[in-house]
Amino acid sequence: MSLYSRVIKPKSLILGNGKVVDEPRSKAPLVIVLFCIASLISIKITGFDMAVMFSRGGQFLVILRKMVPPEFAYMPKIWQPLFDTIKMSLLGSFVGAVLAVPFAVVASSNIVKNRFVIVFVRLLLSIVRTLPTLVTALIATYIFGLGTLAGTIAIAVFTFAYVGKLLYEEIETVDMGPFEAMQAMGANKGRSFMYAIIPQVLPSYLSNCLFCFEGNVRYASILGYVGAGGLGLILNEKIGWREYTKVGMILVMLFATVVIIETFSHWLRSKLT
């Protein structure tokens, strides 16, 4: 009997033939109580104040209202940074996703038997994943200078860690049967991997890459804040100068781009599975 059942006695159900079945009590009430306590504590700690929310919340709308109508005349100046943003995310996603493959293979416990190697590579992936993209971009601008190269590298680093983790988890759940069959046929480990494991993980790998690319377009649009090129650069500038109609135009274009890319990527991913 579990600890929970010992503390809170199960409900006894009696069947027609006299057999007794103990139904463990639901854990939901306990979870709800704990959740409420945690919420109260976090409100205390963060100083969240409902009164301020009500009195100042309206200011959101004031800024939003200033963005309407967006200044369409500004559009021609947005194309270049917008394409920079897309280029950064596309190239960065591609480079990161390709680099992730060898690392993911080495991090898979069903392929590599050496515990030390696995733990080392996984630790590396987690550390890289913990770095916020904005911080990576900032560091990259110190090394490679201001501009889209720094942004591309920041995106690649994030994609590498993200796709790498998803891929090694995917590799670990494959059916090892075909791999065994390839080995029994006299194929070496590399060829067995290529023909038994890759076909199993390829669709979800591509799907993950596309999903990551979708997100990267959004990340890339703020990387300009630290000088890494793209939309963020002019977004930062126009907010600073309070030219909200231009900010509105930038957001509309970004929104349209993200929707188009997400729709396309969603359609592609639905074809993959």
Partner 1 sequence: MIVFRHVDKVYPNGFVGLRDVSLQIEQGEFVAIIGLSGAGKSTLIRSINRMHDITGGELTVDDADVRSLKGKELRRFRRKIGMIFQSFNLVTRTTVIKNVLTSFVPDLPFWRVLFGIFPQEAKIRSLEALDKVGILEKAYVRVDQLSGGQQQRVALARTLAQDPSIILADEPVAALDPVTAKQVMDDFRRVNQAMNISVLINIHHVELALEYADRIIGIREGEIVFDGPVSEVNEKVLSDIYAGKLEEVI
Which residue is listed with tokens 């929970």?
Answer: 4
Least distance from C-beta 180 to partner 1, angstroms?
Answer: 6
Contact 227, 209 (CB under 8 A): no
Looking at 101, 112, 139, 178, which residue binds partner 1 (CB under 8 A)?
A: 178
Phi, psi of 175 (to 5 degrees): -80, 120
User: Which x/- pattern over 181-220 shows residues binding partner 1 (rule: CB under 8 A)?
Assistant: xxxxxxxx--x--xxx--xx--x-----------------
CB of 259 to partner 1, least distance (A): 31
Among candidate residues 73, 85, 65, 84, the one with its CA nearest the CA of residue 246: 73
- Give the per-residue contact string, 147-176, with partner 1 (x = CB under 8 A; - = no): ----------------------------x-
Residue 152 and residue 137: Cα distance in Å, rounded? 8
Separation between Cα atoms, residue 85 and residue 128, nearest integer Å: 22
**Residue 262: count of CB within 10 angstroms of its CB:** 17
Interface region with partner 1, contact rule CB under 8 A, candidates 10-18, 39-47, 93-101, 178-186: 178-186
Closest distance of CB 204 from partner 1, Å: 10
Residues that bind partner 1 (CB under 8 A): 175, 177-178, 180-188, 191, 194-196, 199-200, 203
